[in-house]
Amino acid sequence: MHSFSPRPLFDAGSGDGQFLLYNVGPLIGSGKFDVIAIARSPDEANRWMTERLPELLGI
């Protein structure tokens, strides 16, 4: 099992991080973004999206 990075957002300069956030299209009156989990397998990415990301977001 891979441990989580202390810096969860992906940094293109260092290659560190597990999550890539991007703007999927600005909306009038609100914003919208999506998240990709960068992992070694689909199962690991799913675990990060369902366990780690909500923890980081406080939800």
Model confidence over 13-34: pLDDT tens digits? 888 888 998 877 777 777 778 8
Mean pLDDT, rounded, for 42-55: 92
d(CA 8, CA 54): 12
Q: Take residue 34 and report the two structure tokens written for it.
A: 């999506």
Count of residues making up the chain: 59
Q: What is the rounded (10 degree) CA torsion for 44, 45, 50, 52?
A: 80
Q: Indicate the pTM of the whole model.
A: 0.68
Q: Residue written as tokens 């703007």?
A: 23
Quote the pLDDT of residue 47: 93
